[in-house]
Amino acid sequence: MAVRLLVALLIFSFASFTYASDPDPLQDFCVGVKDDEAKVFVNGKICKDPNMVSANDFFFPGLNMPGNTSNPLGSKVTPVNVNQLPGLNTLGISLVRIDYAPYGLNPPHTHPRATEVLVVVEGTLFVGFVTSNPADPNVKNKLFTKTLYPGDVFVFPEGLIHFQFNVGKTNAVVFAGLSSQNPGVITIANAVFGSDPPINLDVLTKAFQVDANVNKYLQAQFWWNID
């Protein structure tokens, strides 16, 4: 009996790993209701009354328009996820347009709930991602990088730190698909040095092995959020 129970638990555990991203929908569509209009909170969004659904719930205009890159990073992410396109609710997919000024940067960040596949439309980008901590503590995290040109495609695995940097002298544009209706973004510098309330200086000093004044200086900066 104990063996059967153990086998059942193992099967259940392995089965749960198959849901690596958003769960499959159980109906044709489930147009998301805005959070401020919802009466309950759920994992995702509750469904709009199907009789009230229209074509506009599956429509988003304007990705032909360039984003404003006049900011310290020189980049602008225009997201189209379930918050902008409610028809994406339960479909497990979203996309973004990213514009880069010359030498513009989409800084190191992660998407905790999505893999990202990116295609370059204009410009030249230097992109890369870093692997998670190796099992062997003597081995460093590995960096994978590539210089991309128009028509090139690159994939960033789910949850890994990645970046894109425009190394050209002209503007750059990419479109990227993500394997979640709500991929989430954690910009590394913002999260570590710009959190509210701030992370304790003793924690940062111990973690980065630098003088506390360095961390204090970094915490005092204005950290620009990407979408």
Going by the annotation, the residues of the binding site are 106, 109, 111, 116, 162
Alpha helices in 81-200 (DSSP H): 188-193
Pairwise CA distance, residues 117 & 97, whole Å: 12
Annotated binding-site ranges for oxalate: 106, 111, 116
Pairwise CA distance, residues 113 & 25, whole Å: 17
Q: Is 99 helix (H, G, I), strand (E, B) or coil?
A: strand
- Name, in order, each residue with C-beta under 8 angstroms of 154's C-beta and a sequence gap of 6 or more: 117, 118, 127, 146, 148
- Name, in order, each residue with C-beta under 8 angstroms of 39's C-beta and a sequence gap of 6 or more: 46
Instruction: Find out whether 181 and 93 touch, Cβ atoms under 8 Å.
Output: yes
Annotated binding-site ranges for Mn(2+): 109, 111, 116, 162
